[in-house]
Amino acid sequence: MVAKPATADRGYDSLPIPFGWFAVAMSNEIAEGEIRTLRYFGTEFVMWRGEDGVVNAVDPYCPHLGAHLGVGSTVEGNDLRCAFHHWQFNGNGGVTAIPYTKMVPPKLKRSCLPSWPVEEHDGVIYAWYHPRKAAPKWEIARMPEPPENEHWILAETHEWVVNIHCQEITENGQDHAHFGAVHGVQGPPAGNFELDGWVRHNRVVAEMPTPRGPMTGIIDVKATGPGQSIGEYIDVTHVVQMQQVSPIDAEHTHIRWQLYHRSGLSEGRLRVTAARMRDLVKQVHQDIPIWNAKIFQPNPLLVEGDGPMMAYRKQYARFYQFDEPAPSEIAA
């Protein structure tokens, strides 16, 4: 076995954990009344789902006397009750009850436990991470509208934990030369790469060979922030790939996929769809051994044909500017 270099040797000292919305669980992983301690962003937080169905997240240690809120706590109504002295907290980190005191100080009622913005969309629970607790700067992207009179069918879900910084995973889509070398497919041609604020958009329209002759295929990938991208693969079939990449810490990343297809597909098209999904999954398995062992090259030796890697990195650097206002607030 090859010894893995220490974090600093992999070049990650120049890559902190970016801010953004990140998937931290699937909706079906936390039922009403359930509490989870989650480890992402090099830290921990405690998440629970109240009776109202709403998911909340707070820092892990009770501000009273320091109990870990993931150990022995219970959900009371919509609130989290600490095991140690039964203080109760709402999703904003405000105290709603202390069983042995007559008057809860108003300051504690407002908030005394740092809470995390949490949203749930399309079966995924997202938490907003910012090391200085700045408020969310953009909205989570949603599933595209299905074609008329149809709906999306969730066909497959996948997840992987990879030993690599999350920036390197999404850089892969801009790395044109690796498509041929690693995946044996032609990479996206240049000139369809757009950056717009917090969003990155790749759109490829290409002639694809099919048994019935060439047809126009579209690959459209829109990444919103560092943690989320939506890929659409449209030709004889139409696959939607919802991807979330979430930093567990600076060198471990949790990747989640939900793969959807259109309703009402014939058996033949279902087969093509399943093959397309298999192919996407195969590509990740081809990338993983390289990801697990590589270092980050801050000054790569790039040549023509490598793809818009540096434009990608320039945009990504914004996710590390922890004091910077949103791009819309910056004069061009």
**Residues in touch with Fe ion (CB under 5 A):** 172, 287
Is the CB of 46 or the CB of 255 nearer to ligand FES?
46
313 binds, among ligand FES, Fe ion, none (CB under 5 to 8 A by kind): none
Instruction: Considering the complex, state which of residue 85 and residue 183 has its C-beta at the smaller distance from Fe ion.
Output: 183
User: Shortest distance, CB of residue 69 to ligand FES, whole angstroms?
Assistant: 7
Quote the least distance from Cβ 293 to Fe ion, whole Å. Answer: 15
| SS3 readout for 277-327 | HHHHHHHHHHHHHHHHHCCCCCCCCCCCCCCCHHHHHHHHHHHHCCCCCCH
Positions that interact with ligand FES (CB under 6 A): 62, 64-67, 82, 84-85, 87
Nearer to ligand FES, 66 or 268 (CB): 66
The minimum distance between CB 75 and ligand FES, in angstroms, equals 15
Nearest residue (CB) to ligand FES, 113 versus 240: 113
Cβ neighbors of 202 (< 8 A, separation 6 or more) are 173, 174, 188, 192, 193, 194, 219, 220, 221, 222
**Residue 85 contacts which entry, ligand FES, Fe ion, none (Cβ below 5-8 A, type-dependent):** ligand FES
Give me the least distance between CB of 100 and ligand FES, in Å please: 10
Least Cβ distance, residue 125 to ligand FES (angstroms): 24
Which H/E stretch holds residue 45? strand 43-49
Residue 85 or residue 121: which is nearer to ligand FES going by CB? 85
DSSP letters for 104-150: --HHHHH--S-EE-EEEETTEEEEEE-TT-PPP-SPPP-PPPPSTT-
Q: Give the containing element (helix H, strand E) for 99.
A: none
Residue 204, class by beta-carbon neighbours within 10 Å (0-12 exposed, 13-18 middle, 19+ buried)? Answer: middle
Nearer to ligand FES by Cβ, of 82 and 223: the residue is 82
Give the residue nearest to Fe ion (CB). Answer: 287
Tell which residue, 55, 62, 32, 57, has the closest CA to residue 46.
57
- Distance, in Å, from the CA atom of 297 to the CA atom of 295, rounded to the nearest integer, reads 6
Query: Residue 178 Cβ, how far from Fe ion at the closest point, in Å?
Result: 6
Q: How far is the CB of 111 from ligand FES (least distance, A)?
A: 15
296 binds, among ligand FES, Fe ion, none (CB under 5 to 8 A by kind): none
| C-alpha span between 217 and 215 (Å, rounded) | 6
How would you classify residue 174: left for phi > 0, otherwise alpha for psi between -120 and 50, otherwise beta?
alpha
Choosing among ligand FES, Fe ion, none, which partner's interface includes residue 84 (Cβ < 5 to 8 Å by kind)?
A: ligand FES
Binding partner of residue 172 among ligand FES, Fe ion, none, CB cut-off 5 to 8 Å per kind = Fe ion
Helix, strand and coil percent figures for the chain, each rounded to 5: 20, 35, 45
Residue 147 binds: one of Fe ion, ligand FES, none (C-beta under 5 to 8 A by kind): none
39 binds, among Fe ion, ligand FES, none (CB under 5 to 8 A by kind): none
